Amino acid sequence: DPYQLIEGMTIAGRAVGATRGYIYFRSEYPVALKILNVAIERATDEGFLGDSILGSSTNFHIE
């Protein structure tokens, strides 16, 4: 579930004061990368990632 990864990274980022997280995918997993990119885009569109997450002062981006 890509949303569990996004949520876990966001919580961990908040805990350590990070505003950006990075995910490395090897080239043999193109389908998984596409699924994750769609999930990141949806989470950003819904306000769960990016600047001012859900109207708070928390910023977190995933690349």
- By the 8 A CB rule, do 54 and 46 touch? no
- By the 8 A CB rule, do 6 and 40 touch? yes
pTM of the model: 0.88
Domain ranges of the chain: 2-62
- What tokens does 14 get? 């908040």
pLDDT in tens, 12-54: 999 999 999 999 989 999 999 999 999 999 999 999 999 999 9
What is the CB-side half-sphere exposure of residue 62 using CA atoms within 13 A? 28
